[in-house]
Amino acid sequence: MANVIARPRRVLSGMRPTGKLHLGHYHGVLKNWVRLQSEYECFFFVADWHALTTHYEDPGVIAENVWEMVIDWLACGVNPNLAHLFIQSRVPEHAELHLLLSMVTPLGWLERVPTFKDQQLQLRDRDLATYGFLGYPLLQSADVLIYKATDVPVGEDQVAHLELTREVARRFNHIYGVEPDFAEKAEEAARKMGKKNARLYFDLRRRYQERGEREALEVAHALLEEQANITMADRERLFGYLDGSSREILPEPEVLLTPAAKMPGLDGRKMSKSYSNTIGLREPPEEVERKLRTMPTDPARVRRIDPGNPEKCPVWEFHRIYSDDKTREWVWQGCTTAGIGCLDCKRPIIDAVEAELAPIRAHALEYQEDPERVRTLIAEGCEAARDEARETLAEVRAAMGLDYR
């Protein structure tokens, strides 16, 4: 069993191109992607269709932001040699899968996704009573399922979308993966792996079914992944037979909850474009410095001689992220005794943010000056993604009876 390698885990994640990226994206998402790209096979994409579901009235934002966003990713260390980077609308298979999944998705499932009502309330200035907006989480499901992603890094706000994705996959497999003689076909498929592997498979299946051993399930998955001599349909039967009675055509992904590294904004609230409290990844140093120098502090410190309370100050939130213990001690001591002024206090932050942004800006510049290179690496990413997407779609079409000629 030692030669059974772990099932290759595949990560998929997307970002909507609705504005310039800022430090919130860097600390909240991109640093995480950079870490994931060396641990998993990663697919990262620009969710341009998703942007249209809320911004259909201003299509200009898309073209404007797509390439800039890709440049920001690259500048932050997302590496096209490690991850497949692509644009959603350049892999039209997502749309076909979305359509096909829509056939089996009960309307109620979409209506009760919390973001549906929440966002409509939050974005009152837009008319979001559209079919496209209702279908947003299902399009997201298609994004994930078309790559058979095993892990999807998302924040808390997206967990409900992943839950929907899992339900849709389960329902799809149940409707299209059930065969009258499923068990016999699965047993027959197992024998095609050879005596030794078949025995191992049945043993692992028993351990999982009788004793609920997760590890046995994982080893069984690995065993199936490495079989080169069985057909796709047999593989799906064997996956499905481990814990159910239907072929697992679309595997259920797991949530990889992104640690809530909440980047504070300039006003102490979460950094977000809608609060206008951001520091852009490519803003010039003078502008970054100006923003930090003018950011609000503890309102009780009206005069330099008034002591303050860091807990009531947005600058302190920045120290939590950027400063070491020694500096934080200096801040705490100096603030509460009025020993330092707020500008003194901000100095290490200004320096730290600048140290973080300088290399990002420089990398971005390299890509800005070579748009051809960016176009090429995205074209390659799109091709790689399409190859995967086409395979899944062929299976889905066949399962739904659409492979007739």
Site for ligand TRP (CB under 6 A): which residue of 11, 12, 219, 382?
12
16 binds ligand TRP (CB under 6 A): yes
22 binds, among ligand SF4, ligand TRP, none (CB under 5 to 8 A by kind): none
Contacting ligand TRP within 139-158 (CB under 6 A): 140, 143-144, 152, 154, 158
Q: Which of 46, 100, 168, 331 forms a contact with ligand SF4 (CB under 6 A)?
A: 331
Q: Binding ligand SF4 by CB under 6 A: which of 68, 151, 298, 317?
A: 298
Task: Say which entry of ligand SF4, ligand TRP, none residue 14 contacts (CB below 5 to 8 A, set by partner kind).
Answer: ligand TRP
SS3 per-residue string spanning the chain: CCCCCCCCCEEEEEECCCCCCEHHHHHHHHHHHHHHCCCCEEEEEECHHHHHHHHCCCCHHHHHHHHHHHHHHHHCCCCCCCEEEEEHHHCCHHHHHHHHHHCCCCHHHHHCCHHHHHHHHHCCCCCCCCHHHHCHHHHHHHHHHCCCCCEEEECHHHHHHHHHHHHHHHHHHHHHCCCCCHHHHHHHHHHCCCHHHHHHHHHHHHHHHHHCCHHHHHHHHHHHHCCCCCCHHHHHHHHHHHHCCCCCCCCCCEEEECCCCCCECCCCCECCHHHCCCCECCCCHHHHHHHHHCCCCCCCCCCCCCCCCHHHCHHHHHHHHHCCHHHHHHHHHHHHCCCCCHHHHHHHHHHHHHHHHHHHHHHHHHHHCCHHHHHHHHHHHHHHHHHHHHHHHHHHHHHCCCCCC
* Total number of residues shown for the chain: 405
Query: Residue 381 CB, nearest distance to ligand TRP (Å)?
Result: 15
Residue 189: contacted member of ligand TRP, ligand SF4, none (CB under 5 to 8 Å, by partner type): none
State the minimum distance, in angstroms, from the CB of residue 273 to ligand SF4.
24
Nearer to ligand TRP, 185 or 270 (CB): 270
Selection from ligand TRP, ligand SF4, none that 50 binds (CB < 5 to 8 A by kind) is: ligand TRP
d(CA 184, CA 196): 19
Cβ 392 to ligand TRP shortest distance, Å = 15
- Residue 249's binding partner among ligand SF4, ligand TRP, none (Cβ under 5 to 8 angstroms by kind) is none
CA geometry: angle 269, 272, 277, nearest 5 deg: 65
Q: How far is the CB of 330 from ligand SF4 (least distance, A)?
A: 10
The CA-based angle 285-286-289, given to 5 degrees, is 85
Q: Which does 348 bind (CB under 5 to 8 A by kind): ligand SF4, ligand TRP, none?
A: none
Assess 47 for contact with ligand TRP (CB under 6 A).
yes
Q: Which is nearer to ligand SF4, 315 or 350 (CB)?
A: 315
Least distance CB 194 / ligand TRP (angstroms): 37
Q: Among 10-18, 77-85, 175-183, 331-339, which window interacts with ligand TRP (CB under 6 A)? A: 10-18
Q: Is 53 in the site for ligand TRP (CB under 6 A)?
A: no
Strands 254-257 and 41-46: unpaired
Closest residue to ligand TRP: CB criterion = 14
Question: Any contact of residue 310 with ligand SF4 (CB under 6 A)?
Answer: yes
State the binding partner of 37 from ligand SF4, ligand TRP, none, CB within 5 to 8 A by kind.
none
Q: In the complex, which residues of this chain contact ligand SF4 (CB under 6 A)? A: 297-298, 301, 308, 310, 313, 315-316, 331, 335, 340, 342, 345-346
Which residues in this chain contact ligand TRP in the complex, by CB under 6 A?
A: 12-14, 16, 47, 50, 140, 143-144, 152, 154, 158
